[in-house]
A and B are shown apart, each in its own frame.
Chain A
Amino acid sequence: MKFQNKLKLLFAFSAWFVLAQCVFGNPVNKSLDSLRIAIVRQQASLDSVQQVRSTQMLKFSEVNGQINEYKIELGKQRQPLLEFRLNAALKKSRELADKISILDARVNQIKVNLQELYKQMIATLDTEIRSLLSSSNSKTPNQAALNSSQRLSKEKSGYFSRLNSIKINVSEWQNITIEANDSPQRIMMKTTLLKDKAARLERVILQDEERLRELEKDKKMQNEMLVFYLDLSRTLEDEQGIFDRDRLEELKDQSENFAREIQIIKSQISENKLNSVNLYEKISRFTQAWKKKLENY
């Protein structure tokens, strides 16, 4: 086991120990505390699943890069070995897409759970605040109760913003399914709709890939310019006033901006390719279902 994982386990154990102490040591906030524990647990699961997903996405992106390279090579010259490798990469890509789809479903489920927990938490905090304000014997609540209610209100608004920030990603095409009473014509219509969406997605991927190529070339030029400026800065003294030393910093920043933009486009391409693989898989299933239905019709 890696040292970092050991550390994480140690901290997780300590955290649970401390939390358990808090829960059993403070019976008044028991429901609040159990909700807090549940939220921390769900959040940790979400982080862990998302981390696994990003690792799988990285692999998926690498495999797709290989597929592109093989296709370009095969376009120049037909080679049986390359064809074999291309088929293997396509198979791997589909397998990874399936794995990521399962992870996506888990992510969405955890998000739904979190939404539910946040709602419960907000309601419980509301009750707690009301009880704090009404428990005071005098007509005006005492300072301690006011302070506690303010603290809880702040916590509540935090959960509100978390609730609003949860986005469950479901593509439009994922909601298109075959119903038991669908006629062959209807299945065919749905398949055509999916094909349209797949074609549109392909166009978006092609545009993004073209932009990515441009950006990568620009970044390469920028980096080469940076190296030349570095050479100049070694030859010239800053104090001579011929060469602007801030230019180096600027070029570094611009290069980072390029890197950031490239990263965003790469991740968009990977997500769209993932959608595309899943979409074609669905189209193939729909076509089979249409054929089957046509035979039995």
Chain B
Amino acid sequence: MTRKIFKLIALICIPLGSFAQEKSTTMIFGKVSQEYRNNILRLRDSTKIDDYRTNLYFSLENKRKLFKKSRLDLFYELRHHRYDEFQKFSRHDHLGNLKFQQSMTEKIHFHVSNELRARFSSTEDFSYIRNIANIYLNIAINPQNRAYIGIQNWSKDYFDASDYQQYKSSRYYAKLNIQMTKSANLGLHTEYNKHEGNLYPGSRAADLNLELDGHRYIFISRLDKIFNRNLFATFAYRFENDFPAEIENEQTGQRINDESYDDLLAEDSDFGYIKNQFSLSSLVKLTPRFSLLLFYNIYNKEFKFWPIRPDGPKRDDQLLFLSHTFKVKLGSKFTFELQHIYEDNDTNLRLFTYQMNTIAAGISAQF
């Protein structure tokens, strides 16, 4: 009995003692930008469709220490995009994120986070609720190397779509971060991803009602390097191999290897492919007030089951994505930003060949 009382007192007193050390920081961020896009549909025959878009972002973040060994981060962001002419593409997103961290020992930290995004689009079919739950362990193998083991669970509901759509996936991953020198880090990431349903409902015909299940293997290697504390560069390579699982049409009972299988699968762009992706991102600190971020990305996506015409070759895409962002600090709270994006998709399926340019200017404030 006495021991139980002691334990109870310890349980009550430890947190009480820790409240005195509680630290909480709150940040408010706001940004307004105006951008011009010259091909808002990203399709070959839509190059003349251009529009101005007004973006508004507002976020609120609170980080607090809970007790002695845990922390809680809360984040909310409103993202509003409004097209001047093609208002049916306007939308606003509410994004909430909650992250809890607990130190289990000095070397092992437990993290659990949940991100919920609610998108309300002017076109009802594009509105959705997406939830990403993430649980992982951050293990310090030694002062230089860290390992991460975790599970991510995605779910996405197009709640307003005329033909109700759902997507979910479970992603199991392991990561290793190796500190090679004081300013260079190597990251290795492997992931197995089991997905059900369709991530892009807009891209499939309405008359099909498939159970689109698949498996995906992902490997990422990444090298971070800080040069002279003026240049931060990241080189990354990503490999994805996606396999469709057995597919069954609920209405017709058709299964994999049925005659119409390839045609059915071709309606979806997120299945059955091999992707090789290279990216370079670098932050150049030109002066203490002036920074430049370059993000260059190129990938090749070979679709295994998507013939561009009957008995023709399979679809093969090469996407080039270049982004340049300039930032000038105006005082301690305000920043002026200028961004340019160029996207070029070169594919043997002519409909999806496109070039797109975006130019945006905005001002942000952080308190």
Chain A 150-165 near chain B by CB (<8 Å), digits 1 or 0: 0100010000000000
Residues of chain A lying within 8 A (CB to CB) of residue B232: 221-222, 224-225
Q: Are A218 and B229 in contact (CB under 8 A)?
A: yes
Distance to closest chain B CB from A248 (angstroms): 10
Q: Are B297 and A221 in contact (CB under 8 A)?
A: no
Query: What CA separation (Å) do A234 and B59 show in the bound complex?
Result: 12
In this assembly, does B6 line the interface, its C-beta being within 8 Å of a C-beta of chain A? yes
Binding site of B, secondary structure by majority: helix, strand, loop or mixed? strand
Q: Are B57 and A234 in contact (CB under 8 A)?
A: yes
| A side interface size, CB within 8 A | 42
| Chain A, range 17-66, C-beta contacts under 8 Å to B | 18-19, 22, 26, 29, 33, 36, 40, 44, 47, 51
Q: A4-B19, A36-B2, A244-B220 are in contact. Are A232 and B295 (CB under 8 A)?
A: yes
Chain B 87-120 near chain A by CB (<8 Å), digits 1 or 0: 0000000000000000000000000010000000
Q: A26-B2, A242-B297 are in contact. Are A225 and B283 (CB under 8 A)?
A: yes
| Chain B, range 324-341, C-beta contacts under 8 Å to A | 325, 327, 337, 339, 341
Residues of chain A lying within 8 A (CB to CB) of residue B13: 11, 15, 44
In this assembly, does B16 line the interface, its C-beta being within 8 Å of a C-beta of chain A? yes
Which chain A residue has the least Cβ–Cβ distance from B341? A235
Stretch at the interface among A84-92, A135-143, A250-258, A268-276: A250-258
In this assembly, does A295 line the interface, its C-beta being within 8 Å of a C-beta of chain B? no
Query: What CA separation (Å) do A231 and B16 show in the bound complex?
Result: 39
Distance to closest chain B CB from A90 (angstroms): 29
Q: Are B226 and A221 in contact (CB under 8 A)?
A: yes
Which chain A residue has the least Cβ–Cβ distance from B298? A242
Distance to closest chain B CB from A207 (angstroms): 13
In this assembly, does B134 line the interface, its C-beta being within 8 Å of a C-beta of chain A? yes
Residues of chain A lying within 8 A (CB to CB) of residue B236: 244
Q: Are A19 and B5 in contact (CB under 8 A)?
A: yes
In this assembly, does A172 line the interface, its C-beta being within 8 Å of a C-beta of chain B? no
In this assembly, does A249 line the interface, its C-beta being within 8 Å of a C-beta of chain B? yes
Q: A155-B3, A231-B325 are in contact. Are A250 and B187 (CB under 8 A)?
A: yes
In this assembly, does A241 line the interface, its C-beta being within 8 Å of a C-beta of chain B? yes
Q: How many residues of B sit at the interface, in one of the four size bands?
A: 35 or more
Residues of chain B lying within 8 A (CB to CB) of residue A229: 281
Residues of chain A lying within 8 A (CB to CB) of residue B341: 235
Q: A221-B283, A254-B185 are in contact. Are A8 and B16 (CB under 8 A)?
A: yes
Residues of chain B lying within 8 A (CB to CB) of residue A29: 2
Query: What CA separation (Å) do A246 and B236 show in the bound complex?
Result: 13
Chain B 44-67 near chain A by CB (<8 Å), digits 1 or 0: 000000000001010000000000
In this assembly, does A217 line the interface, its C-beta being within 8 Å of a C-beta of chain B? yes
Query: What CA separation (Å) do A122 and B330 show in the bound complex?
Result: 65
Query: What CA separation (Å) do A254 and B226 show in the bound complex?
Result: 13
In this assembly, does B313 line the interface, its C-beta being within 8 Å of a C-beta of chain A? no
Q: Beyond the given A232-B325, A250-B177, please list 10 additional residue pairs across the A-B interface where CB-CB is below 8 A.
A: A4-B19, A19-B5, A19-B9, A155-B3, A214-B182, A229-B281, A231-B337, A235-B339, A242-B319, A249-B113
Contact sample, A vs B, 13 pairs, CB 8 Å cutoff: A7-B16, A19-B9, A29-B2, A155-B3, A214-B229, A224-B285, A228-B281, A234-B79, A235-B323, A241-B275, A242-B321, A249-B134, A253-B148
Interfacial residues, chain B to chain A (CB-CB below 8 A): 1-3, 5-6, 9, 12-13, 16-17, 19-20, 55, 57, 79, 113, 134, 138, 146, 148, 175, 177, 182-183, 185, 187, 189, 199-200, 220, 226, 229, 232, 234, 236, 238, 275, 277, 281, 283, 285, 291, 293, 295, 297, 299, 319, 321, 323, 325, 327, 337, 339, 341, 358, 360
Interfacial residues, chain A to chain B (CB-CB below 8 A): 4, 7-8, 11, 15, 18-19, 22, 26, 29, 33, 36, 40, 44, 47, 51, 151, 155, 214, 217-218, 221-222, 224-225, 228-229, 231-232, 234-235, 239, 241-244, 246, 249-250, 253-254, 257
Closest 6 pairs between A and B when the two form their complex, measured CB to CB:
A228-B293, A217-B229, A22-B2, A221-B232, A15-B9, A225-B283
